[in-house]
Amino acid sequence: MTEALRADCGRCFGLCCVALPFTASADFAVDKKAGTPCPNLGGDHRCGIHARLRQEGFTGCTVYDCFGAGQQVSQVVFGGRDWRTGPPERARQMFDVFPVVRQLHELLRYLTEALALAPARPLHAELRALLTETEGLTGRPPEELLALDVAAHRQRVNVLLLRASELARAGDRGRGKNRRGADLMGARLKGADLRGADLRGAYLIAADLTGADLRGADLIGADLRDTDLTDADLTGAVFLTQPRLDAARGSAGTRLPASVTRPAHWTARRG
């Protein structure tokens, strides 16, 4: 992943801590409306409890990633103008633009990974063209970004990503491995053979995938909240993002694709 797709909070005006809403739950300790600063946000745009988010009841913050959209909106789209110092209209516009650019940056993350898939080489020219187009969109003026049909653009990208995924998984796909959008919440899949499985958008909340073989599986959009990946093998899994992995549980024995890193809260022991 390029540096432009990595969150750089030092170059952002705390947009994720202001623009987005959250509801008091297991993920957030308090309610917060969109456009209202989180009570933990300091005047320097830094989180006052960043090192204690899980302990303070803000687990949701630890599994969020803007994919670099924060600094793109802060420094490029709005030219380094802080929402705190400008007129209310600019602040509102910045908060509305942020989730649009965040979606575009997530697509850039997937397109970048697809270009690294050798089996998808026949699609590289199309992928590169769409990557360039999407990069161009992220720097458009605020008014153009707010008028952008993000859903339509996402659909165009998804069609190409699916083709890339099919090429990458061609050698492992088999009967019973199409679990796209499947409701697998709490499913007992310990040791399951899911090599090359299509798990796009699957609900794997609290599923037991201990020791499962997920090599080459497509995990784009899969909900991995509290999924047990202890000792599972995700080598070569495609389109798995860091925030989705961070929401799962795992161990030192969990094998991961090169596109992500082992979450800091995982331990060698289960649970």
- Same domain, residue pair 70 and 96: yes
Average pLDDT over residues 209-222: 96
- Same domain, residue pair 196 and 157: no
What confidence score (pLDDT) does residue 230 get?
A: 97
Q: Quick one: which H or E segment has residue 131?
A: helix 124-137
Under the banding of pLDDT at 50, 70 and 90, the label for residue 176 is low
What confidence score (pLDDT) does residue 244 get?
A: 94
- Is the pLDDT at 6 greater than 70, yes or no? yes
Q: What are phi and psi of 258, to 5 degrees?
A: -70, -15
| 39-50 pLDDT per residue, tens | 999 999 999 999
| 138-163 pLDDT per residue, tens | 999 999 999 999 999 999 999 999 99
Residue with tokens 């899980």: 54
Under the banding of pLDDT at 50, 70 and 90, the label for residue 269 is very low
- Is the pLDDT at 65 greater than 50, yes or no? yes
pTM, 2 dp: 0.91
**CATH number of the domain residue 269 falls in:** 2.160.20.80
CA 195 from centre of chain: 22
The residue that leads in pLDDT, 68 or 266, is: 68
Q: How many domains does the chain have?
A: 2
Decide if 44 contacts 106 (C-beta within 8 A): no
- The pair of structure tokens assigned to 16 is 């994720």
- Residue-averaged pLDDT of the chain: 93
- Same domain, residue pair 17 and 75: yes
Residue ranges making up the domain that contains 267: 174-271
- Is the pLDDT at 94 greater than 70, yes or no? yes
Final residue before a domain boundary, out of 168, 195, 222:
168
Please list, in sequence order, all residues whose beta carbon lies within 8 angstroms of the beta carbon of residue 112, skipping any fewer than 6 positions away.
Answer: 1, 2, 5, 131
